[in-house]
C-alpha cells in the first residue's frame, strides 16, 4: 500500500512537471520554427509548421520576435492564419545590423505553444531598390522584398542582393564577390570574378551567358552607396531557353 501511494505521488509530480513545457503538454499544439531567410536591414522571412493541434483547434499561428531570447506573443508578432500545416511569416519593422530571436507559435483554447528559438542578425543596408526589363517587360521589386548585405574581409567587398517580384514569385540573386574599389565592371564572360547573377521564374533558373555588371561606390554624409547596372542574355540550360535583360539597376546604402 505504501509503495502504491509513493508511485501515485511520483506519477502526479511527473505529469505536472511535464505540462510546464510545450513538448510534454498534450493539451497544447506542436509547432516548429522555419529557418530565417531573405534577411534585410528591416525585414526577414520565417514561419513554421503546426504538426498537431493538441486538445483544441489552433486559432492563431505565426511568429514572434524580440532582441531577447525566447520571445513570446507579448513581444512583436505577426499572425499567419490558423489550423494545421506550414505557413510563411513576413517580419517587418526591424532595425539594421541588430541581433534578433524568432519563434513560431500556435495558440489553441488551452494556451500557446512555441517552436525553437532561432537567432539572426539583420543586414547593414538601407535605402535599397531593384528593377530590370526582361524581354521588354518591366520588372521591379518592392522595398520589403529586397534583402541586401555588405561585408568587408581585408580589402575584399562582398555585396549580396536578393530581390523578389511582388506578384509572380520570380526573383534575382546577386552574390557579387571580389568587388573592391570605387568603380568596377564585371564582364559575365570573364572568369576573373566568381559572380553569378541568377534569375529564377517558375521552374527555370537563368544564369548569365553574356553581358556585364557595373558597380559604382560613393561615400557622402556618413553613407556608403553602391549603385549597379547590368544587362545581357540569361539562359536556362535545362529548357535551353533564353531571356534578354536590359536596364537592370540596383541601389544599396549602408551607414559608416
Q: Is residue 197 domain-shared with residue 109, that is, in the same domain?
A: no
* Distance in angstroms (rounded) separating the CA atoms of residues 54 and 64: 20
* Sign of the alpha-carbon dihedral angle for 157, 179, 43, 72: negative
Residue pair 147/40 in contact (Cβ under 8 Å)? The answer is yes
Q: Is residue 107 domain-shared with residue 204, that is, in the same domain?
A: no
Q: Is residue 141 domain-shared with residue 116, that is, in the same domain?
A: no
Q: Is residue 159 domain-shared with residue 200, that is, in the same domain?
A: yes
Q: What angle do CA 41, 47, 49 make, to 5 degrees?
A: 165
pLDDT of residue 209: 85
| Domain coverage including residue 184 | 126-255
* Distance in angstroms (rounded) separating the CA atoms of residues 13 and 111: 21
Q: Is residue 71 domain-shared with residue 140, that is, in the same domain?
A: no
End position of a domain, from candidates 70, 102, 121? 121
**Residue 88 CB contacts under 8 Å (≥ 6 apart), including other chains:** 34, 45, 46, 47, 80
Q: Is residue 221 domain-shared with residue 141, that is, in the same domain?
A: yes
End position of a domain, from candidates 69, 99, 121? 121
**In Å, how far are 29, 89, 113, 137, 224 from 54, measured between CA atoms?**
4, 22, 10, 49, 51
Q: Is residue 96 domain-shared with residue 142, that is, in the same domain?
A: no
Q: Is residue 205 domain-shared with residue 160, that is, in the same domain?
A: yes
End position of a domain, from candidates 59, 90, 121? 121
Tens digits of residue pLDDT in 10-33: 444 444 433 333 455 889 999 999
Q: Is residue 60 domain-shared with residue 181, that is, in the same domain?
A: no
Tell me: pLDDT of 233 over 70.
Answer: yes
Q: Is residue 249 domain-shared with residue 131, that is, in the same domain?
A: yes
Tens digits of residue pLDDT in 161-204: 888 898 888 988 887 765 556 677 877 764 444 556 789 998 89
pTM of the model: 0.55
The domain tally of the chain equals 2
pLDDT of residue 97: 79
| CATH at residue 61 | 2.60.40.10
End-to-end CA distance of the chain: 75
Amino acid at each position: 500500500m505504501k509503495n502504491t501511494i509513493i508511485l501515485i505521488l511520483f506519477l502526479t509530480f511527473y505529469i505536472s512537471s511535464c505540462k510546464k513545457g510545450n513538448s510534454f503538454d498534450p493539451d497544447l499544439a506542436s509547432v516548429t520554427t522555419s529557418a530565417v531567410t531573405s534577411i534585410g536591414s528591416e525585414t526577414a522571412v520565417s514561419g513554421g509548421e503546426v504538426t498537431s493541434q493538441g486538445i483544441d483547434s489552433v486559432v492563431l499561428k505565426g511568429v514572434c520576435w524580440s532582441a531577447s531570447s525566447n520571445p513570446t506573443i507579448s513581444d512583436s508578432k505577426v499572425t499567419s492564419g490558423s489550423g494545421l500545416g506550414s505557413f510563411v511569416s513576413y517580419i517587418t519593422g526591424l532595425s539594421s545590423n541588430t541581433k534578433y530571436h524568432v519563434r513560431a507559435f500556435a495558440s489553441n483554447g488551452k494556451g500557446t505553444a512555441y517552436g525553437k528559438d532561432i537567432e539572426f542578425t539583420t543586414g547593414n543596408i538601407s535605402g535599397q531598390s531593384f528593377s530590370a526589363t526582361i524581354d521588354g517587360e518591366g520588372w521591379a521589386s518592392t522595398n520589403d522584398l529586397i534583402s541586401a548585405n555588405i561585408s568587408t574581409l581585408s580589402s575584399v567587398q562582398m555585396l549580396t542582393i536578393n530581390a523578389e517580384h511582388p506578384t509572380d514569385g520570380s526573383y534575382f540573386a546577386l552574390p557579387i564577390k571580389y568587388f573592391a574599389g570605387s568603380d568596377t565592371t564585371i564582364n559575365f564572360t570573364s572568369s576573373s570574378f566568381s559572380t553569378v547573377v541568377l534569375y529564377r521564374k517558375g521552374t527555370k533558373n537563368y544564369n548569365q551567358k553574356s553581358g556585364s555588371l557595373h558597380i559604382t561606390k560613393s561615400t557622402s554624409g556618413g553613407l556608403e552607396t553602391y549603385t549597379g547596372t547590368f544587362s545581357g542574355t540569361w539562359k536556362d540550360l535545362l529548357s535551353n531557353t533564353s531571356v534578354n535583360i536590359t536596364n537592370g539597376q540596383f541601389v544599396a546604402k549602408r551607414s559608416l
